[in-house]
Chains A and B, each alone.
Chain A
Amino acid sequence: MTSRKVLITGSFAVGKTSLFHRFVYNTFSDQYLTTIGVKVDKRVVDVSGEPLSLILWDIAGEVSQKKVPKTYFLGASAVIYVFDLSRKQTADNLKSDLKLIQKILPGCLIKVVGNKKDLVSEEELIILERTHNPDFLTSAKTGENVETLFMEIASELVSY
């Protein structure tokens, strides 16, 4: 079976772990996030009849990605960069963070996700979409778009 490493990163309290829990069965304790700054889990998905194992690395939130150990990024096939739609400041470092990730992982698949969609109004969403241009708008609380996000990544990784 083919396996791919997928990283979930972003500022603190943007809902990365909630997205993670929405998609995978929780094998290890969340305490790993506070002890070594990362937690690994997996889910096997079906892409065009072929199983694909997504090994997901949930990285502890940091205001800037400069503070995340570079070694955690290495070997990743895709990166999900999450920001909180209800806290604009969590997207302040978006441009520089994406630049840094592209530098560490050239050619890597990157998806920008605006989470906590359930907390903002339609008008605010339009403005936020225009400003930050996210690939997905999700709500880990309601589960909206979470499955779609991971499945799209999975199918893109197969044809990548």
Chain B
Amino acid sequence: MPVSQQPEHQSDPLQQLRNILLRPEQERITHIHNILEEKEPLAERVVPIIEEQLSEFEAHFPKAYQLAVDRLVERKIRESQEEMIDMLYPVMGTMIRKYIAQQLQELRESVEQQLERSFLARLRDRFFRAGGVREADLVLRNAALPRVREAYIIEQHSGLLLGSASTQEVVDKELIAGMLTAIKSFVVDAFRRGTTQLELIEYAGYQILIRDFHTYYVALAVEGKMTTKEQEQLSGQIATFVQNELARKIRADDASLHLHLGKTLKEYFMKTTPLSTEAIQGQL
């Protein structure tokens, strides 16, 4: 081939020299170029770096951006207070109410336990025995204790009233017995918990304790909040009452039974204010 027809870089001695000297660099440039142009090799190298940076960011985000986030939240709360209250109130209200009720209940139970154990209680008992009972202590203690205000013995299913006693004026007792039975039936039917029965209804300052027996059930409306121990105590008294007074065949239209139960219910659950007297005497 004549010299004039050869490619320029082959004919140029300087270019030839450059090609020889810079070959490794040119190969590296081509390799880097390939990495940058091809997605997979690029991802292989870049992803670990990004992941590392993200972990770093996550670890240090609160520290680095806390101030900015705080300002943002503060501004959002200021700008849409009503919305925030609407959203939080139902949740917070319920939580606070539950928390306070639970704390009060725990406090009351703990005070009860401490009183039972304490030297002070023993000293008071000695006063009591010696006839030197501190009236103020008893009055204070009794005032805070739950009291049975209404008592019902109701036939299962039909809801017919077998007997009742009350310390206050109430709506027709037969209607209460009927509606209570309807509510019981509704709960059992709606929640389908096998043989489990409704045992306690709470309303305002009242608790209705329900204890089921085969053909009837006993419902006591108690003013005040009972502790678990007091509920057990009252259940025990119901069992004693049933054993002593209802150990015979009972019929809803037995007029003498109505009278008898009305009288005995009062004696068992109201006259002696069982939850107070027994609690005090238990410490003697």
Binding site for B on A (CB under 8 A): 1-5, 27-28, 32, 36-42, 53, 55, 57, 69-72, 74-77
CA distance A97 to B35 in the complex (A): 81
A55: chain B residues at CB < 8 Å are 158-160, 174-175, 178
Q: Is the CB of A76 within 8 A of B158?
A: yes
Q: Which of B102-117 contact A (CB under 8 A)?
A: none
Q: Is the CB of A27 within 8 A of B185?
A: no
Binding site for A on B (CB under 8 A): 155-161, 171-172, 174-175, 178-179, 182-183, 185-186, 188-189, 252-253, 255
Given contacts A2-B253, A75-B159, A57 and B186 within 8 Å (CB-CB): no
Given contacts A5-B160, A40-B179, A40-B182, A69 and B189 within 8 Å (CB-CB): yes
Please, which residue of chain A has its CB at the minimum distance from the CB of B174? A42
Q: Which of A1, A3, A5, A39 has the most CB of B within 10 A?
A: A3
A75: chain B residues at CB < 8 Å are 155-160
CA distance A75 to B273 in the complex (A): 34
CA distance A5 to B161 in the complex (A): 11
Task: Offer 13 A-B interface pairs, CB within 8 angstroms, sorted by A.
Answer: A3-B160, A3-B253, A4-B160, A5-B160, A38-B182, A55-B159, A55-B160, A55-B175, A69-B189, A70-B189, A71-B185, A72-B182, A74-B185
CA distance A61 to B189 in the complex (A): 17
Q: Is the CB of A37 within 8 A of B186?
A: yes
A39: chain B residues at CB < 8 Å are 179, 182
Within the complex, what minimum Cβ distance (angstroms) separates B70 from chain A?
Answer: 46
Interface residue from A2, A28, A69 paired with B175 (Cβ < 8 Å):
A28
Within the complex, what minimum Cβ distance (angstroms) separates A144 from chain B?
Answer: 27
Given contacts A37-B186, A75-B157, A75-B160, A27 and B174 within 8 Å (CB-CB): no
Q: Is the CB of B179 within 8 A of A3?
A: no
B172: chain A residues at CB < 8 Å are 27, 42
A38: chain B residues at CB < 8 Å are 182, 185-186
CA distance A76 to B160 in the complex (A): 10
Q: Is the CB of A36 within 8 A of B171?
A: no
CA distance A57 to B179 in the complex (A): 9
CA distance A69 to B186 in the complex (A): 8
CA distance A13 to B253 in the complex (A): 34
Given A2-B253, A55-B159, list of 15 further CB < 8 A pairs? A3-B160, A3-B161, A28-B175, A28-B179, A36-B183, A36-B186, A38-B186, A39-B179, A40-B179, A40-B182, A69-B189, A71-B185, A72-B182, A75-B157, A76-B158
